[in-house]
């Protein structure tokens, strides 16, 4: 099947295949062709160029994209999209003055979601999660990472990971899976936390790997959750079994999690709302992708990741949603990109780079996703008739997407 999209107002994020991520001042560049065409063959991008050079209109499907901008589909590298039920009661509690940490210490938060998930069947979970996955695909996401971490028992964690695998086999969107058994301490381990860490390292990780259920290992490294020592034990066990780390650090406190991520060669360190200059400095000249989650900051009214300080010191940055029932009940990457511009003072070019090629890198997918490159998957956002690409973050509440293509087919 050959598709030709022509008269494209502007084709964004055209990159050579050698580019795996962009950092520092390079994030201000968003290479593009105005008045362009794009050829898709089956699942992949076959070619592109200026309309002036288009002579052959031969294709099975011809799409006139006059007035429309085309960019790579969003790459959402951090989500907890598989969950059971919702926590809008806690949302109201926070409006009435309780903090996220206070709610968690009263048995709400992650443990509340874990209870709901443990009581749900794999089929129920799959159905709820499918709805959310289809919603984010329509919102322009073409590749996504999904974590476990609401099971917190060997059985329930495997059930979650199995649902992620079934989603990956049921939908065209590319899915990467992360084992986050270390999301919170279950009630039964309240007085013997080391025993839960033992269970993760000795029982859960080997089982997850044996059943090929995860690509990455994650830990919520935070005061009241997993200490730096516990985090490192878990990362070490994960790495030994072939799982690459991608970790939650510096959401509320800077306790050394960034440095643990660097030490264990994490693909990414995520959240980073609270960053010291030492944390920023230690990421320079590493291969670790920092990931910001601005809709979590928005929803919890906590600080935003200091993107300007980080990018201006030469770091790369990726943007992701953190879609989950507690801190970010939204999987809308368009909102993330807009919020990064509005609240974190990222330019539209920086935000689009962060949500495409750098997001792909943070999932180990930049060989096949995140840019308009010959041979990469034809994962595209085709906007409505808009004046410029800066209009995407500017008109932040509007749906500006006309069509989404994932692996060569329209969603």
Q: Rule CB under 6 A: which residues touch ligand NIG?
A: 109-110, 113, 220, 248, 251, 296, 322, 324-327
- In the complex, what is the shortest distance from the CB of residue 83 to ligand NIG, in angstroms, rounded to a whole number? 8
Phi, psi of 271, rounded to the nearest 5 degrees: 95, -85
Contacts of residue 187, defined as CB under 8 A and 6 or more positions apart, other chains included, come to 107, 111
114 versus 381: smaller Cβ distance to ligand NIG: 114
Residue-by-residue DSSP string for 14-41: B--TT----BGGGGG---EEEEEEEEEE
Residue nearest to ligand NIG (CB): 326
- In the complex, what is the shortest distance from the CB of residue 310 to Fe ion, in angstroms, rounded to a whole number? 19
Contacts of residue 269, defined as CB under 8 A and 6 or more positions apart, other chains included, come to 246, 247, 249, 250, 257, 258, 261, 262, 283, 288, 289, 290, 291
- In the complex, what is the shortest distance from the CB of residue 336 to ligand NIG, in angstroms, rounded to a whole number? 14
Residue 109: contacted member of ligand NIG, Fe ion, none (CB under 5 to 8 Å, by partner type): ligand NIG
* Cα 114 → chain centroid: 21
Residue 296: contacted member of Fe ion, ligand NIG, none (CB under 5 to 8 Å, by partner type): ligand NIG
83 versus 377: smaller Cβ distance to ligand NIG: 83
69 versus 221: smaller Cβ distance to ligand NIG: 221
Is residue 279 a contact point for Fe ion (CB under 5 A)?
Answer: no
Residue nearest to Fe ion (CB): 322
Is residue 222 a contact point for Fe ion (CB under 5 A)?
Answer: no
250 versus 368: smaller Cβ distance to ligand NIG: 250
10 versus 270: smaller Cβ distance to ligand NIG: 270
Among 10, 222, 279, 322, binds Fe ion (CB under 5 A): 322
68 versus 339: smaller Cβ distance to Fe ion: 339
Quote the CA–CA distance of 258 and 249 in Å, as a whole number. 6
- In the complex, what is the shortest distance from the CB of residue 399 to ligand NIG, in angstroms, rounded to a whole number? 25
* Whether the Cβ atoms of residue 294 and residue 271 lie closer than 8 Å to each other: no
187-211 burial: b if 16+ Cβ within 10 Å, else e? eebeeeeeebbebbbeebbebbbee
* Cα 292 → chain centroid: 9
For residue 48, give the H/E element and its range: strand 44-50
Binding residues for Fe ion (CB under 5 A): 322
């Amino acid at each position: 099947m050959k598709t030709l999209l022509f008269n494209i107002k502007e084709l964004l994020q055209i990159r050579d295949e050698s580019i795996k991520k962009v950092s520092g001042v390079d994030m201000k560049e968003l290479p593009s062709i105005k008045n362009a065409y794009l050829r898709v063959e089956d699942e992949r991008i076959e070619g592109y160029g200026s309309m002036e050079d288009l002579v052959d209109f031969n294709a099975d499907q011809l799409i006139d994209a006059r007035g429309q901008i085309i960019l790579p589909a969003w790459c959402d590298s951090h989500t907890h999209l598989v969950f059971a039920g919702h926590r809008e009661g806690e949302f109201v509690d926070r409006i009435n003055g309780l903090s996220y940490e206070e709610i968690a210490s009263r048995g709400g938060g992650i443990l509340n979601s874990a209870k709901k998930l443990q009581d749900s069947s794999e089929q129920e979970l799959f159905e709820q999660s499918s709805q959310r996955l289809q919603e984010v695909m329509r919102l322009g996401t073409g590749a996504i990472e999904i974590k476990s971490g609401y099971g917190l028992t060997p059985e329930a964690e495997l059930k979650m990971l199995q649902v992620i695998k079934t989603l990956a086999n049921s939908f065209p969107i590319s899915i990467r899976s992360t084992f986050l058994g270390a999301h919170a301490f279950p009630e039964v381990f309240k007085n013997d936390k080391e025993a839960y860490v033992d269970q993760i390292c000795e029982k859960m990780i080997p089982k997850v790997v044996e059943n090929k259920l995860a690509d990455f290992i994650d830990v919520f490294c935070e005061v009241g959750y997993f200490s730096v020592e516990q985090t490192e034990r878990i990362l070490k066990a994960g790495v030994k079994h072939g799982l690459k780390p991608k970790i939650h650090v510096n959401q509320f406190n800077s306790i050394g999690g960034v440095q643990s991520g660097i030490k264990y060669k994490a693909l990414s360190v995520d959240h980073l709302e609270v960053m010291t200059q030492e944390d920023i400095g230690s990421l320079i000249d590493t291969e670790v992708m920092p990931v910001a989650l601005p809709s979590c900051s928005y929803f919890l009214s906590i600080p935003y990741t200091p993107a300007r300080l980080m990018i201006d010191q030469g770091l790369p940055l990726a943007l992701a949603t953190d879609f989950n029932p507690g801190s970010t009940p939204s999987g809308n990457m368009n909102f993330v990109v807009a919020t990064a511009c509005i609240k974190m003072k990222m330019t539209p070019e920086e935000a689009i780079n962060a949500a495409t090629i750098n997001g792909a890198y943070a999932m180990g997918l930049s060989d096949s996703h995140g840019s308009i490159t010959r041979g990469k998957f034809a994962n595209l956002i085709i906007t409505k008739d808009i004046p410029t690409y800066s209009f995407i973050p500017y008109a932040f509440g509007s749906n500006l997407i006309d069509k989404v293509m994932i692996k060569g087919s329209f969603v």
